[in-house]
Structure 1
Amino acid sequence: MKTQKKLYSLVLAALIAAVTCVLAPFAIPLPMTPVPISLTNLVIFFSLYLIGWKWSLVSFGVYYLLGLAGLPVFSGFTGGFGKAAGPTGGYLIGFFFLIFIAGIFVERYPSRPFLCVAGMVCGMIVAYAFGTAWLAYQLNLTFWAGLMTGVFPYLIGDALKIAAAVLLGPTLRKAVSRMQAGQTV
């Protein structure tokens, strides 16, 4: 039974990596910044409910390695080491920390939405810090200018993504758990 559960988690992690590869490239560029609006963090938030933080790290790691290898899975249908080392690369690294921090909260407090939101916000703050520091370094900006360019325009959208995940994530988790147990949804 434990092997079956592990295989099920592995398959879900692969599926979530595939969903990330499909959704992350669709990005909305903003004129005043090299950082586009992306659905990557939304997929991450849902993955935490579906497979937990450990498997979400595996899933995102697969996505990241595929992008590093040159597959056009990063925002704007780009890929390769140059994109990962470019101005937005710090956000990609920050997403690993987002998964860990938010995932701990989602797993530890699944029935306490406020704490799940708090974990996601804390995780996003760390992801923003990595992204902003790298963006500022790459573009020779002050940290404050990096925040103005790479964080502030995204706060409302990221808040909506967190709200969607916290509202829908538990329902998706239950449906996946029922499927895993062999029950009908």
Structure 2
Amino acid sequence: MSTAAATRRTFPVLADLIGVNSRQGARVRDVVLTIIGTAFITVAGYITIPLPFTPVPISLATFAVLLTGAALGPLRGSASAGLYLVLGLVGVPLFAHGASGWAFSSFGYIVGYVVAALIVGALARRRSDRSVWSTLGLAAVGSLTIYAFGVPWLAAFAGIDLAAAFALGVLPFLIGDAVKIVAMAGLLPATWRIVDRAGERS
């Protein structure tokens, strides 16, 4: 195998371990997992803590998006986040505090969810969710991706410069993000260790 081919090689994500016996079964599995991912993001997004000094609330949705991307892989993970985005855009009250539409300060973060799930899922397919250190990197990249979309939207929506948007939309959340990243770095590799041990026993 060439070096280039080895670099392009991908590996299973956790959702791939749900075995099916046919192509039709695989499609049904993928649809069900996508819907479950959307539901997970929705429920997590409702768990918020408003902060009086910023229009962006603390939310568990970021953690849910990153975990969904890693567990489901790039296509199913981004589809879950994309379905969440589209349903909210057309008026389903899925976003934090039962919001919908696009005209609010944190909408850019939700757009970033789709891209972050795609990137995190792609990294997971290259086994970046198998060790603590690589999972730390995976989760950090996903978080930065969300900020890359959320901060410019916040600046434009609130009519402030990027420095002010950074102060309002990033700095208050760094400690919480660090906790989420560490939690992922513990959860995903531990899950893979359990899976590997179960495989050895079977």
* TM-score w.r.t. length of structure 1: 0.84
Whole-Å separation in 2 of the counterparts to 1:78 and 1:104: 30
Q: Contact 2:132–2:189 (CA<8 Å) still a contact in 1?
A: no
Alpha-carbon contact 2:85-2:111 (below 8 Å) kept = no
Q: Following TM superposition, by how much is the alpha carbon of 1:85 offset from its aligned partner in structure 2, in angstroms? A: 3.3
CA–CA distance in 2 between the matches of 1:157 and 1:148?
15
Residue matched to 2:74:
53
| CA distance, structure 1, for counterparts of residue 45 and residue 82 of structure 2 | 14
Root mean square deviation of aligned Cα: 2.7
Residue number in structure 2 paired with 1:91: 109
Give the fraction of aligned pairs with identical amino acids, expressed as a percent.
31
- Sort the Cα spacing of 1:63 and 1:172 in 2 relative to 1 into closer, same or farther, 3 A: farther
Paired residue for 2:160, among 129, 137, 141?
Answer: 141
Who is 2:135 aligned against?
116
For residues 28 and 195 of structure 2, what CA distance do their matches in structure 1 show? 14
Q: Are 2:176 and 1:157 equivalent residues in the alignment?
A: yes
Amino acid at match of 2:138: G
Residue of structure 1 aligned with 2:98, choices 77, 83, 91: 77
The residue aligned with 1:17 is: 38
Amino acid corresponding to residue 67 of structure 1 in structure 2: G
* Unmatched runs of 5 consecutive residues or more in structure 1: none
Conservation of the 8 A alpha-carbon contact between 1:98 and 1:120: no
Distance of 1:18 and 1:147 partners within structure 2: 29
Larger Rg: 2
Q: Counterpart of 2:49 in 1: which secondary structure? A: coil
Mark the CA change 1:176 to 1:42 in structure 2 (over 3 Å): closer, same or farther.
farther
Q: Contact between 1:26 and 1:77, CA under 8 Å: does it hold in 2?
A: no
SS at 2:97's partner residue?
coil
Give, in angstroms, the shift of residue 172 of structure 1: 4.5
Unaligned runs of 5+ in 2: 1-20
* Equivalent-residue separation in structure 1 for 2:59 and 2:178 (angstroms): 13
TM-score (norm 2): 0.78
Amino acid at match of 2:28: L
Alpha-carbon distance, 1:40 to partner: 0.8
Q: Distance in 2 between matches of 1:75 and 1:118?
A: 27
